[in-house]
Amino acid sequence: MRETLRKARPMNQPKTAGKQTNATVIHELYASAEAAAKDTPKFVSLFAEGGYFYDVGAGKKYYGKDLGFVVDAYASAFPDMHRELYSMYFNDDVVIVELSLNGTHKGELVIPEGVIPPTNKGMHAPCRDVFHLKDREVVSFHCYVAVPILLGQLGVFKNLSAAIRRQRRSPSRLVALRRDRHSKDFDDEKRRLRRFENDQRIARRRAI
């Protein structure tokens, strides 16, 4: 039986007071994002002033009152949304979490290209989250969802253009510019992921 966040498998416990504090903050943040007990204001309150959430797959950062946008969007698209936590790694005030995103696609899923209508398919997408914290607050939250796997599970990866209901049409020249921009973003993302993988290797060596 798949475990949920409320019945998560035992994890190695952080051994220092600072790491214990950071672990508590991260658990509170995940709990506030669970669809069954979603508390978006609580989620937002755990961020420091000027802190941000970076949805790496979408290439978009959220600040201030918009910090809870992705939480609300996923809870709307997946009403039974939950996050299964596997491992936490600590390196000073950096926390890396291995987890999966789980739920049934029963609502509209908003992505940068448009909206994917409900497919009623299950999602069990791998994810890596990287947090920087200071004084019990989240300074940055980088979320690396395995988007191709997620879209494949929804049955739309091979024909994404047909699956998307676009919110508005764009002139052909703007579409071409977007393609150029996406290509550059893809190269930038590959570089970010290489840095992330290197940071993860370092954190694992220091993991509790």
**Number of structural domains in the chain:** 1
Domain that holds residue 50: 5-205
Task: Find how far residue 100's CA is from the centre of its chain.
Answer: 9
- The answer to pTM > 0.75 is no
Query: Helix 69-77 crosses helix 17-33 at what angle (to 10 degrees)?
Result: 50
The domain spanning residue 159 has which CATH number? 3.10.450.50
CB-CB contact of 143 with 55 (8 Å):
yes
Q: Quick: pLDDT tens for 134-172.
A: 999 999 999 999 999 999 999 987 666 566 655 444 434
| CA separation for the pair 139, 131 (Å, rounded) | 7
Amino acid at 113: E
Of residues 5 and 113, more confidence is placed in 113
Q: Quick: pLDDT tens for 54-77.
A: 999 889 999 999 999 999 999 999
Q: Quick: pLDDT tens for 36-53.
A: 999 999 999 999 999 999
CB-CB contact of 22 with 133 (8 Å):
yes
Total count of residues recorded for the chain: 208
| Listed residue (148, 90, 151) closest to 116, CA to CA | 151
Neighbours of 194 (CB within 10 A): 10
